[in-house]
Amino acid sequence: MKIIRKILNSRSQDDGDFFLEIWQILGFKPKDINLYKKAFTHRSYNIKDENGLPVNYERLEFLGDTMLGSIISNYLYNEVPDGDEGYLTKMRSKIVSREHLNELGKDLNLIKFVKSKIPNEHFGDNIHGNVFEALVGAIFLDRGFVYCERFIHKRVIVPYVDIESLEGKIISYKSLIIEWCQKEKKEFLFDTYEDNGNDELKHFAVKLFINKKVVAKARATSKKKAEESAAKRAYYALQDKIDDFL
């Protein structure tokens, strides 16, 4: 209690609250709290440091992505001694996939710390994974590799990494459909076009053709999402055949 009072007395109320919440998420005491503030500053906040350089989480995100990949690679290398390079690469991709990182960021409710001139509800899902990676980058700069590895083990590996489950997890249905079509020598085409209808947001529709036959349709707010959704529907329509390929 004395330590907590000392922290709160030495900072503004907002800084003290932020410090304690970050401490709770990390499981250890941060040293340079400004690194963690930067990890949650969106570029739209438009602030610069004393050298005139932008202050936002993008460079920390880059660093965190690298550290996360390295630590997960090391874990898989030791955990699966008979896994070849291709297997290890696939497993790492599943663990650090954008979908998974977004899930991690959501579970920790990191978006509540984000400083931005854009309302949170206007962000896409990727903001959650972006700030999670930035947080990892801040940890590495603040406390070094050992603490970074400890955090990833606690927050990623222990609760989320199950080798057997991950082996059967599909990262990208689009990639899977393309690989299957190429192996089976089938023609495929993702015919994507704008389809706004009465919606305020721009939408895209896609028809997935295999051997010139429409096997799935989908609609979403981006081409990538629409194609992935159509590929997922195609997978379930052709699951028996594709599962043999897997």
Longest Cα–Cα distance of the chain, Å, equals 72
Cα Rg, the chain, nearest whole Å? 22
Which tens digits make up the pLDDT trace of 164-205? 777 777 778 888 899 889 989 999 999 988 876 666 678 899
Which tens digits make up the pLDDT trace of 194-223? 876 666 678 899 999 999 999 999 998 888
Name the catalytic one among 133, 142, 149, 228: 133
Report the C-alpha gap between 191 and 206 in whole angstroms: 5
Among 3.30.460.80, 1.10.3720.10, 1.10.10.10, 1.10.1520.10, name the CATH number for the domain at 2-167. Answer: 1.10.1520.10
Q: What pLDDT shows up at residue 1?
A: 47
| Closest to 43 (Cα-Cα) out of 135, 130, 140 | 130
By residue count, the chain amounts to 246
Q: What pLDDT shows up at residue 36?
A: 96
Annotation marks residue 65 as catalytic: yes
Which residues sit opposite 188 in a β-bridge? 210
Q: What pLDDT shows up at residue 124?
A: 86
Token pair of 21 as six digits: 């919440």
The answer to whether the 2-167 and 173-245 domains have the same CATH topology is no
Whether the Cβ atoms of residue 134 and residue 64 lie closer than 8 Å to each other: yes
CATH topology of domain 173-245: Double Stranded RNA Binding Domain (3.30.160)
Sole residue written with tokens 């299957």: 180
The 10 Å Cβ neighbour count of residue 147 is 17
Name the catalytic one among 61, 65, 149, 227: 65
